Structure 1
Amino acid sequence: MAWIYLIIAGLFEMGWAIGLKYTQSFTKLVPSIFTIICMIISLYLLSLSLKTLPIGTAYTIWTGIGAIGTVLFGMLFLGESREWIRIVFILFIVVGVVGLKVVSGGDPH
């Protein structure tokens, strides 16, 4: 269950990272509320995953999901660069996240 919490936490991390763009320094009410809710849910789910997952693994995967998702969102919906080298580096992050999942155990105790 910890891995499910972690994956969902990563998706909400992506949500608040993207939401920040639309808050305009927290001057826009609806995007600000959305962003804050995503932050709270993301951190809560991350904390649940940390009951059994190693902190280094969980945090890296959490930020990796957020980073990959945010970059892909920018490329697909905001017209950000789709250069091949950028995609290669995103794939490096994916390989790292998958690698950590493969080599990590569930319970650090």
Structure 2
Amino acid sequence: MEWLSLIAAGLFETSGVMAMNRLNRDRNAKSLLLLLGAFGASFLALAYAMDSIPMSTAYAIWTGIGASGGALVGMWLYGESKDWRRVLFIVMILGAAVGLKLVG
């Protein structure tokens, strides 16, 4: 269950980055609440996951999912470059997260 919570924490982190982009465009209370809610949920899910997953592993995977998710969302929704090298490095980040799970 903690691993699902950690994945959810990373996905909420990605949602928080999307909300941050929205807040930059639309400075209003709804955008701010979305930002606070997404990052709040991310931290709560991360804290739950860290009850049984070592902090170093949990934090590395959480940031990997968040960084990869932010880059992918940027490519798919915001027209950022889809250069093969960017995709390769995203795959490497996700591969490292899976590697941490396998050796931890």
Partner of 2:102: 102
- Is 1:41–2:68 an aligned residue pair? no
Calculate the TM-score normalised by the size of structure 1: 0.90
Contact 1:2 1:48 in 2 (8 A): yes
Q: How many residues align?
A: 104
Calculate the TM-score normalised by the size of structure 2: 0.94
Q: Which runs of 5+ in 2 are unaligned?
A: none
**Residue correspondence of structure 1 range 1-109 to structure 2 within 5 A:** 1-24=1-24, 27-104=27-104
Cα distance in 2 between the residues matched to 1:26 and 1:8: 26
C-alpha RMSD of the superposition: 1.4
SS at 1:24's partner residue? helix
Cα distance in 2 between the residues matched to 1:75 and 1:26: 21
- The CA deviation at 1:25 is 8.3
Cα distance in 2 between the residues matched to 1:39 and 1:26: 18
Query: Hey, which of these two has a bigger chunk of helix by percent?
Result: 2
